[in-house]
């Protein structure tokens, strides 16, 4: 385990081997709690300016390099996600259907009786299933005022996760295998909607290994960070296995490089964050 912060404390790098995730999370939690909490006014478009519990510890520009486990059970044993929920929701994400809200949102361990908080017209503003599988979106079942049922792409057909897999099979040396989660409709949050914390996933094959760059605008440490890392590793494993199933070669998994512009935690969760520190 290794970590480095720049002089201005505006960038942080954490490096871990495949069996060191918990140690890395411990260092991140300690660095986070060393910051001075501030209240940013809003959380998920809700006004929390009067809530001291939403005062926020924050590290900017956090990067981690983590050697991915090759097997799902090994990843689970090292990362310690919220099972069985994390695996069930991951399977929902890669299930090939753009379902919203899906099933597993109601089983998330941290709802605290607020499962319906972000639902509008019985749907979320976005979810991973819609963003993984935009080709499956039911155009007749949209409530957005500006939704165009005939939209299939600006100049070219819309792709999905399966197209990224096919791209890696057709051109293993590609630098283009990117699965975006942040869509044009998220730009500027013009309807005051919630927008994804994840920007996207970039797969790149080098030296017989699939490496994954995971880009995030925001990541909360207590409820999300651990599960986000687990599901990113599982996504890399799923892509590797799908390549083999479709007649491509067998690759090993290489490095997960995660970058979060804001990695943060709430003062109201201080005791939970302290629980990550070894």
- DSSP, residue by residue, 8-59: TS--EEEEE-TT-HHHHHHHHHHHHHTSPPB--SEETTEE-TT-GGG-EEEE
Contact assessment for residue 101 and residue 123, using Cβ atoms and an 8 Å cutoff: yes
Looking up residue 37, the CATH number of its domain turns out to be 3.30.572.10
The reported pLDDT for the residue numbered 187 is: 95
The reported pLDDT for the residue numbered 152 is: 72
Is residue 260 in some structural domain?
A: yes
Using one digit for the tens of pLDDT, what is the confidence trace for 5-28?
887 778 999 999 999 999 999 999
Using one digit for the tens of pLDDT, what is the confidence trace for 90-138?
999 999 999 998 999 999 999 865 555 556 667 888 899 999 999 887 6
The reported pLDDT for the residue numbered 2 is: 85
Domain coverage including residue 223: 2-92+172-274
Residue 240 pLDDT level (bands cut at 50, 70, 90): very high
Is residue 186 in some structural domain?
A: yes
Is residue 228 in some structural domain?
A: yes
Secondary structure element (H or E) that encloses residue 205, with its range = strand 198-206
Contact assessment for residue 76 and residue 84, using Cβ atoms and an 8 Å cutoff: no
Is residue 77 in some structural domain?
A: yes
Contact assessment for residue 64 and residue 16, using Cβ atoms and an 8 Å cutoff: yes
Alpha-carbon gap, residue 259 to 200, rounded angstroms:
11
C-beta atoms surrounding 188 within 10 Å: 8
Is residue 19 in some structural domain?
A: yes
Is residue 140 in some structural domain?
A: no
The reported pLDDT for the residue numbered 141 is: 56
Alpha-carbon gap, residue 51 to 49, rounded angstroms:
6
Alpha-carbon gap, residue 166 to 171, rounded angstroms:
8
Using one digit for the tens of pLDDT, what is the confidence trace for 37-59?
988 766 666 666 656 567 899 99
CA within 13 Å, CB half, 252: 9
Q: pTM of this prediction? A: 0.92
86's tokens: 């994390």
Is residue 121 in some structural domain?
A: no
Alpha-carbon gap, residue 158 to 134, rounded angstroms:
7
Is residue 133 in some structural domain?
A: no
Alpha-carbon gap, residue 254 to 265, rounded angstroms:
29
Number of structural domains (the chain) is 1
């Amino acid at each position: 385990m290794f970590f480095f912060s720049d002089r201005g404390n505006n960038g942080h790098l954490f490096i871990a081997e495949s069996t060191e995730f918990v140690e890395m999370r411990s260092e991140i939690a300690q660095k986070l709690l060393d910051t001075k909490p501030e209240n940013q006014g809003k959380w998920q478009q809700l006004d929390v300016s009067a809530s001291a519990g939403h005062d926020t510890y924050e590290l900017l520009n956090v990067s981690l390099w983590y050697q991915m486990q090759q097997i799902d059970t090994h990843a689970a044993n090292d990362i310690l996600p919220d099972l069985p929920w994390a695996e069930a929701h991951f399977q929902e994400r890669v299930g090939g259907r753009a379902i919203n809200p899906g099933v597993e949102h109601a089983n998330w361990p941290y709802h605290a009786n607020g499962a319906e908080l972000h639902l509008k017209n019985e749907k979320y503003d976005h979810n991973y299933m819609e963003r993984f599988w935009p080709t499956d979106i039911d155009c007749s079942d949209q409530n957005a005022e500006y939704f165009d049922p005939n939209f299939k792409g600006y100049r070219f057909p819309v792709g999905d996760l399966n197209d990224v897999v096919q791209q890696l099979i057709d051109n293993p040396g590609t630098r283009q295998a990117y699965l975006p989660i942040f869509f044009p409709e998220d730009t500027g949050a013009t309807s005051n909607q919630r927008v994804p914390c994840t920007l996207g996933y970039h797969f790149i094959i080098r030296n017989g290994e699939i490496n994954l760059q995971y880009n995030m605008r925001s990541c909360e440490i207590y409820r999300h960070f651990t599960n986000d890392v687990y599901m990113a590793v599982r996504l890399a494993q799923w892509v590797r296995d799908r390549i083999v199933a479709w007649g491509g070669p067998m690759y090993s998994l290489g490095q997960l490089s995660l970058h979060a512009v804001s990695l943060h935690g709430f003062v109201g969760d201080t005791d939970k964050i302290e629980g990550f520190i070894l």
